[in-house]
Amino acid sequence: MALDYNHVGLCGRLTRDAELAYSSSGVAYSKFSIAVNGWKENDVAFVNCVMFGKSAEAVSKWLTRGKQVIVNGSWSQSRYEKDGQKQTRDSVNVNQVQLLSGGADKPSLPQQQFDDEQIPF
């Protein structure tokens, strides 16, 4: 029996500030995207990310455009219909994010790592 494993680890720069919101059931979530260099020159992938719960609340204020981060989580694909056309959207469900540096015009923060087990709530 084969074992399937879904784990994603990426290092890149935030393309926009994180957006903190709450679901109708009150669960916090933060949406952001990162640009990740590919293996070829000038090959860049833009990856949508989402983080849930207390971790999302704790890190959203630090996740601003231009900062370099490492994200770990699992790959997710959602399917939906828009204007009669079937659509898919890929994203990473982030369970851990590590801040590596500030943006070009923003000061660097000390390295910080956040995940559900480390947040003191």
For 8-22, how does the pLDDT look when each residue is reduced to its tens digit (9 = 90+)?
A: 999 999 999 999 999
Handedness of CA 23, 116, 73, 113 (dihedral sign): positive
**What tokens does 71 get?**
């994200």
Mean pLDDT of 31-52: 92
pTM: 0.76
Residue 32 CB partners (closer than 8 Å, separation 6+): 14, 15, 16, 17, 18, 19, 49, 50, 51, 63
**Is the model's pLDDT at 96 over the cut of 90?**
yes
Is pLDDT at 107 greater than 80 in this prediction? no
| Domain 8-81+89-115 CATH superfamily | Nucleic acid-binding proteins (2.40.50.140)
Residue 101's pLDDT is 72
CA 31 to chain centre: 7
Residues for the chain: how many in total? 121
CA 29 to chain centre: 11
